[in-house]
Structure 1
Amino acid sequence: MDEMKIFSGNSNRQLAEKICEYIGVQLGEIFVSRFIDGEICVKILENVRGKDTFVIQSTHPPAENLLELLIILDALKRASAKRITVVIPYYGYARQDKKDEPRTPISAKLVADLITTAGAHRILSMDLHAEQIQGFFNLPFDHLYAAPVIIEHINSMNFDLSELVIVSPDPGRAKRARGIAKRIGNMPIAIVDKRRPSPNQSEVMNIVGDVKNKTVILIDDIIDTGGTLAGAAKALKENGAKRIFSYVTHPLLSGDCLKKIEDSPIEKLVITDTIPLKNKNSQKIEVISVAKLLGEAIIRIHEERSVSTLFI
C-alpha cells in the first residue's frame, strides 16, 4: 500500500490536526502564504511522488479558500502524487445547484469542474446541502453524514424519549430528520412549513406534527443568518413545545446570526467543527467534532476498504 500523506489549507487546520491524530499520522508539511498583492503562494515541503495524498479544506469563506484548494491540488498534481483525494467537510456553493431563475449560473457545478480540472481523483464530503451535487463530478464521491456524531450526542443528553420529537425546519430536510429519529428509537417527527420571500429571509407558517409539551430537536445541515432556526423555534414555542434544542452540521453564522439564536427559545445549539468558530461564540453553542468520522473514512479509502457502513 502506498504511503498516506495528509495536507491542509488554511480553512480548518484545527480539524485537519484532529483527523491526523485519530489516524496516527503527521499532518503534511505545506507552505501557504500570500504575496503583497494578495496572490496565493503554495509549496509542498515534502516528497509526494507516488503517494496517496489527501487534502483537507472546507470552502468557507469560499472566495479565498476555494482558490487556495485549487492551487494546492495543482501543486500536488505537478509533484506527481499518485492519487489526490479532496476532503471537503463543508462544500461551499452547494445552495447554487440549479437554475431557479433565468440567466443564473449553476455555481455548484462550476466548482465541481474546477476541482476536477485542478487534479482531484476522488472527493470526500459531508452533509451536502444538495445531494445531487455528487452527480456534478465524474469522479468517485463519498458523501458522509454527521448523523452518527449527532445521534451519539443526543443519546448522551439523556432526554426523556417519551417526550422527544425530531423536527425538520423545512420539508426538504424531512428525510434527514426521519433517519435520525429512526436511529434514536423510532421517535415521532414534525416539519416546519415555511415560505421564503427572498434569499436569507424565512417566514415560518405552521407546524406539521404534534409538539405540544414536547422536547423538540431541530435538525438542519446549515445555519447561515439564523433566520430559519430562530423562526422555527419561535413557531414551535407558539405551538406548545416545552424545550427546544438544535443540531446543525455546518455553522456559517453570518451577520447577526448569534444574536438571533441568543434571542430565540433555543436552549442549546450543537454544531460540528466542519467550519471553525474563530471569534464567534455563545453560551448556547456547543461544538462536537466530526474528526473521527472523517478520519475513519480516510483510512478506509486509503486501504481500499468499503466506507458504506459509515453512511446513515
Structure 2
Amino acid sequence: MKDTRLKIFSGSSNRPLAEEICKSIGVPLGEATVTCFPDGESFVKINENIRGADVYIIQSTCPPTNHHLMELLIMIDAAKRASAARITAVIPFYGYARQDRKDQPRVPITAKLVANLLVAAGATRALTMDLHSQQIQGFFDVPVDHLFASPVFFQYLATKRSSNLVVCSPDVGGMKMAAAYADALGASIALVAKKRINATTVAATNIVGEVSGCDVLLVDDITETAGTITAAAKILREHGAKSIRAAISHCVLGEAAYKRLSEGVLDELITTNSVPIDPRGLPITVLSVAPLLGEAIVRINSNESVTSLFKIKGF
C-alpha cells in the first residue's frame, strides 16, 4: 500500500508562513536542521523518518535570492536521498521569473534554468503562486500547480466596495490581470503607459481610460523598488483620481521602495505574506495566503482537484 504520510518542511526564507500553513491544516511542521557553515555553505539535515512519505518543502526565493534557492535545492536532495516517495517544492514566490525569455542578445533564460535545477535536485512536483508569466509552468518537466492570490485579495476588497472603482494596470504587460480584476469587481479598466529609464526608475507618460473622481486599484504581480506603482500613482493623482490603492501579490521591498512609499502617493498597498514584509508604519496591509496554500497541499496529498481554489467567494 502506498504511504501517503504528509510531511511539511521549511527552509529559512519564510518560516512564519510555513508555520501558519501547518497550523491551518493541522499538520506539524517537520523537524529539520537548516543552517550554514562558517564559509556560507548551506547545511541541511532532516531529523525524522520520511521514507515513502509525501514531502512538501516550503521556500520562497526572496532575498538573499541565491542563498534561498540553493537551500531549497539542498533540502530537495536531502529528501530524495532519504527515500521520500514524492517531493513537492512549494515556492510561494518564484524568483528569476522575469528572466523568462531572450529579450536581448546573449542573455540567459534563467526561469527555465531554475526549473531545470529543481527537477534535477529531485522535485517531482511544484506548487507556486502568481508567476510573473504563465508560460513558466511549461519550463518544468514535472507537474506544476499554479495558484492565484486574487481570491484572497477579492475577499479583502469586498469590504471596500466602491461605486466608481477603476482597475488600472501600471504597464501594458499587466493588462490581462487588470481585466480579470475588473471583471470580478464589476469595475472599469485603465492603463498607465510607462517608459523604463533604468532598472530602478520608470516614468509614467500617459493614461488610457477615465480616472477623474474615481477610486483606483492598481494591480501587479511583483514590486521591488515600487518605482512602477508610485510613478503610476503620481500620474493618476494628476488626472484627478480620488483614492489610489495597489494590490501586489509579491512585495520584495528594498530601501528604495520604502522611501518611495513613504512619500504618501498610495492610500494603501495590499500584498500577501508570500515573502516576509515589514510595514514600517506605512499603509501596507498584508493578507495571508497560508490557508490557500495549505488547502492546496492537502488536496495534492489526497489526489484531489485544486480547481475550486480559484473560485471567488462573495462576488
**Range of TM-score over shorter length:** over 0.9
Moved more, 186-195 or 280-289: 280-289
With the length of structure 2 as denominator, give the TM-score of the two structures. 0.95
SS at match of 1:263: coil
In the alignment, structure 1 segments of 5+ residues that lack a partner are none
> Within 5 A, what are the aligned runs for 1:159-238?
159-160=161-162, 162-184=163-185, 186-238=186-238
Asked if residue 27 in structure 1 is aligned to residue 26 in structure 2, the reply is no
Equivalent residue letter for 2:288:
S
The corresponding residue for 2:73 is 70
Moved more, 147-156 or 259-268: 259-268
The corresponding residue for 1:54 is 56
C-alpha contact (below 8 Å) 2:271/2:287 kept by paired residues = yes
SS at match of 1:205: strand
Superposed displacement of residue 46, structure 1: 0.4
Superposed displacement of residue 264, structure 1: 3.9
Asked if residue 151 in structure 1 is aligned to residue 150 in structure 2, the reply is no
Superposed displacement of residue 9, structure 1: 0.2
Cα deviation 1:81-107 (Å, max 9, x = unaligned): 000011100000001111111111111
Moved more, 72-81 or 291-300: 291-300
Distance in 1 (alpha carbons) for counterparts of 2:210 and 2:309: 32
Asked if residue 126 in structure 1 is aligned to residue 125 in structure 2, the reply is no
The corresponding residue for 1:303 is 302
The corresponding residue for 1:113 is 116
C-alpha contact (below 8 Å) 1:230/1:264 kept by paired residues = no
1:93 to 75, 85, 96: 96
The corresponding residue for 1:104 is 107
SS at match of 2:12: coil
SS at match of 1:221: strand
Cα deviation 1:201-247 (Å, max 9, x = unaligned): 21111111110000101111111101001000001001110111111
Equivalent residue letter for 2:13:
S
Superposed displacement of residue 262, structure 1: 1.6
> Within 5 A, what are the aligned runs for 1:274-289?
274-278=274-278, 281-289=280-288
Equivalent residue letter for 2:182:
A
C-alpha contact (below 8 Å) 1:233/1:264 kept by paired residues = no
Question: What's the Cα RMSD here?
Answer: 1.2
- Which contiguous aligned blocks of 4+ residues in structure 1 show a shift greater than 4 angstroms? none
Cα deviation 1:12-52 (Å, max 9, x = unaligned): 00000110011110000000111111111100000000000
With the length of structure 1 as denominator, give the TM-score of the two structures. 0.96
Equivalent residue letter for 2:306:
V
Cα deviation 1:104-160 (Å, max 9, x = unaligned): 111111111100100000011001112211111011011111000001111122x32
Distance in 1 (alpha carbons) for counterparts of 2:183 and 2:22: 32
SS at match of 1:256: helix
Cα deviation 1:44-93 (Å, max 9, x = unaligned): 00000000010000011211100000000000000000000111000000
C-alpha contact (below 8 Å) 2:270/2:284 kept by paired residues = yes
C-alpha contact (below 8 Å) 2:164/2:187 kept by paired residues = no
